[in-house]
């Protein structure tokens, strides 16, 4: 019998290529059948996932068999979010060039901690850092850290802000921690995302010390309700309310906070991209004056998962938050990726991000996002015409929909999810049950919207007859 070690060693390169060919064939099948399958895996496909529940294998097996099982059992068990009719959460599709670049990058398997580990990945981070600032209209010196998603980007930006506020008071968090540190006043909007609360908790600034500012009917922080800002306050604003898509008045907030040397961090997971659109200028006015921002390229920009970015006006503040040293580290004179993230080793997500930005260009980004917004408008107006209630102003890609009663809404959503033509999630908005629609894939077409609207109507009919 062979040991796994011998087994790996006996793998000639052409078998590696054969495996990759298998993967491509399976990918071809997957994409080719996407339109005929339920958006959410049906019960048969979900039951089949039990096949994975086997004891840890003792003996090695053929890599091609492993891949075949993944294709046969795993594929049907996926959520078809790369298709055009997935409107759940704010997940975002994956542009083909991003996926293809990802496949190549996966073969390269680069580690992006130090420049010396992957000059390519480090260089592409530097390019993406510069391009992101230009695209969003932020200061040229803005630093970027490439992380898993906005949760970690929020942690990163808030860590920089927290440490900088304390540094100005003569306190070094990296050295002294938070024990005995001066307290930091924290302000968030009532509509702040769960990820913001989580980030603040991780950073030692829990809920009790956080002041929550009321929001308007669209979920926007009401700037005039922010009390007199104490010196060195940390304020978290939002670009893109996770339900309504609405934008906090970030410019106004910045004016008030900066007058008292505070720090404004913007959670812009999917909405920060609006800063690239001249048509949305009104909504994001002054957003470039914030101190740090968090954004997901895997959402609105349709870069494959996972790809979050923290942006920080003060490069040194971000670097100080993540400083680390060891004898074996190798710093170069180039931009060092791990200076800007909590992680050290990480995959080269700058490669897919670069591929998407390079391919779309500024105009392509604008077109992509405007397309998402116009599909959302179309979705909302068709549903409105058919007697559904729309609960938000469609300023971006989010639509909040309800039927006549909460019960009918919930039953309708259950039927929509059951039928599998499209997939949407649930939320509550001003105390009402709503269906939450997020249009965030390049792959969505007008036909997809029409078919989804039909599904909404058919589902409501089922909900009403089941009364
Ligand atoms: C999605 C989202 C987050 C969390 O981002 P992850 O990439 O899932 O970590 C935070 N804030 C807002 C507004 C979001 O939409």
Distance from Cα 379 to the centre of ligand 1, integer Å: 23
pLDDT tens for 360-418 read: 999 999 999 999 999 999 999 999 999 999 999 999 999 999 999 999 999 999 999 99
| Contact predicate 402/388, CB 8 Å | yes
Distance from Cα 19 to the centre of ligand 1, integer Å: 35
Of residues 433, 431, 430, the one with CA closest to residue 463? 433
Q: Judging by beta carbons within 10 Å of its beta carbon (0-12, 13-18, 19+), is residue 370 exposed, middle or buried?
A: middle
Determine if residue 255 is left, alpha or beta; phi over 0 gives left, psi from -120 to 50 gives alpha, anything else beta: alpha
Distance from Cα 318 to the centre of ligand 1, integer Å: 20
In the chain, what are the helix, strand and coil shares in percent, each to the nearest 5?
50, 10, 40
pLDDT tens for 324-344 read: 999 999 999 999 999 999 999
Residue 4 confidence (pLDDT) = 56
Residue 48 confidence (pLDDT) = 98
pLDDT tens for 233-270 read: 999 999 999 999 999 999 999 999 999 999 999 999 99
Ligand 1 pocket, CB under 6 A: 90, 149-151, 193, 195, 240, 242, 267, 269-270, 296, 308
Determine which residue's CA is closest to atom 5 belonging to ligand 1.
150
Ligand 1: which of 81, 149, 295 to mutate, most ligand atoms within 8 Å of CB? 149
Distance from Cα 299 to the centre of ligand 1, integer Å: 9
Determine which residue's CA is closest to atom 2 belonging to ligand 1.
269
pLDDT of residue 1 exceeding 50 = no
Residue 208 confidence (pLDDT) = 85
Q: What stretch of H or E contains 315?
A: helix 315-321
Question: How do strand 234-238 and strand 263-267 relate by DSSP bridges?
Answer: parallel
Band of residue 11 on the pLDDT scale cut at 50, 70, 90: low
Of residues 88, 76, 92, the one with CA closest to residue 34? 76
Cα 218 to chain centroid distance, Å, stands at: 21
Ligand 1: which of 91, 149, 150 to mutate, most ligand atoms within 8 Å of CB? 150
50 is written with which tokens? 């039990």
Ligand 1: which of 90, 146, 195 to mutate, most ligand atoms within 8 Å of CB? 195
Which residue in this structure is represented by tokens 């080269």? 348
Determine which residue's CA is closest to atom 1 belonging to ligand 1.
269
Determine which residue's CA is closest to atom 14 belonging to ligand 1.
269
How far apart are alpha carbons 389 and 385 in whole angstroms? Answer: 9
Distance from Cα 11 to the centre of ligand 1, integer Å: 41
Question: How do strand 292-296 and strand 308-312 relate by DSSP bridges?
Answer: antiparallel
Of residues 155, 1, 101, the one with CA closest to residue 348? 101
Sign of the CA dihedral running 164, 165, 169, 174: negative
Q: What is the 3-state secondary structure (H, E, C) of 407-420?
A: HHHHHHHHHHHHHC
pLDDT of residue 168 exceeding 50 = yes
Q: Which residues, at least 6 apart from 463, have a Cβ–Cβ distance to it below 8 Å?
A: 403, 408, 411, 412, 414, 415
> Number of H helices and number of E strands within the chain?
14, 11
Band of residue 129 on the pLDDT scale cut at 50, 70, 90: very high
Q: CA of 14: how far to CAs of 6, 9, 19, 52, in Å?
A: 17, 13, 9, 28
pTM value is 0.96
pLDDT of residue 3 exceeding 70 = no
Q: Which residues, at least 6 apart from 413, have a Cβ–Cβ distance to it below 8 Å?
A: 424, 426, 435, 459
- What mean pLDDT is reported for the chain? 96
Which residue in this structure is represented by tokens 């510069």? 130
Question: How do strand 308-312 and strand 143-147 relate by DSSP bridges?
Answer: antiparallel
Question: How do strand 263-267 and strand 292-296 relate by DSSP bridges?
Answer: parallel
pLDDT tens for 296-319 read: 999 999 999 999 999 999 999 999
Report the nearest atom of ligand 1 relative to the CA of 296.
7
164 is written with which tokens? 């900088």
Residue 6 confidence (pLDDT) = 59
């Amino acid at each position: 019998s062979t040991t796994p070690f011998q087994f790996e060693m006996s793998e000639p390169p052409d078998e590696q290529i054969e495996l990759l060919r298998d993967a491509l064939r399976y990918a071809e099948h997957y994409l080719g059948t996407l339109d005929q399958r339920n958006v959410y895996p049906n019960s048969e496909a979900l039951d089949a996932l039990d096949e994975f529940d086997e004891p840890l294998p003792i003996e090695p097996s053929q890599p091609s068999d492993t891949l075949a099982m993944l294709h046969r059992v795993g594929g049907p068990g996926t959520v078809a979010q790369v298709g055009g009719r997935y409107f759940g959460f704010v997940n975002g599709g994956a542009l083909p060039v991003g996926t293809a670049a990802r496949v190549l990058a996966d073969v390269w398997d680069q580690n992006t901690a130090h420049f010396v580990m992957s000059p390519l990945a480090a260089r592409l981070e530097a390019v993406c850092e510069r391009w992101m600032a230009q695209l969003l209209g932020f200061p040229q010196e803005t630093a970027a850290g490439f992380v898993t998603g906005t949760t970690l980007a929020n942690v990163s930006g808030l860590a920089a802000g927290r440490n900088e506020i304390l540094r100005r008071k003569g306190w070094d968090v990296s050295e002294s921690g938070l024990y005995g540190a001066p307290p930091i006043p924290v302000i968030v909007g009532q509509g702040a995302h769960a990820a913001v609360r989580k980030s603040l908790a991780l950073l030692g600034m829990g809920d009790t010390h956080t002041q929550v500012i009321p929001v308007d009917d669209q979920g926007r922080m009401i700037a005039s309700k922010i009390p007199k800002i104490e010196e060195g306050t940390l304020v978290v604003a939002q670009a893109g309310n996770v339900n309504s898509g609405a934008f906090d008045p970030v410019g106004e907030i910045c004016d008030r906070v900066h007058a008292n040397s505070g720090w404004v961090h913007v959670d812009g997971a999917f909405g920060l991209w609006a800063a690239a659109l001249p048509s949305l200028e009104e909504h994001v006015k002054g957003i470039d004056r914030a101190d740090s921002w968090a954004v997901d390229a895997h959402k609105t920009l349709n870069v494959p998962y996972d790809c979050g970015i923290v942006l920080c006006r003060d490069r040194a503040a971000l670097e100080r938050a993540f400083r680390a040293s060891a004898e074996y580290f190798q710093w170069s004179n180039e931009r060092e990726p791990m200076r800007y993230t909590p992680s050290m080793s990480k995959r080269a997500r700058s490669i897919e991000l670069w591929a998407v930005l390079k391919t779309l260009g500024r105009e392509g980004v604008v077109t992509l996002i405007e397309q998402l917004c116009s599909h959302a408008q179309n979705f909302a107006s068709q549903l409105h015409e058919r007697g559904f209630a729309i609960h938000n102003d469609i300023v971006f890609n989010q639509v909040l929909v309800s039927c006549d009663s909460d019960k009918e809404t919930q039953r309708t959503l259950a039927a929509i999810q059951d039928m599998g033509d499209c997939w949407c999630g649930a939320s509550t908005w001003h105390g009402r049950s709503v269906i939450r629609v997020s249009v965030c894939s390049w792959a969505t077409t007008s036909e997809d919207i029409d078919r989804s609207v039909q599904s909404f109507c058919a589902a409501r009919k089922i909900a009403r007859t089941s009364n």
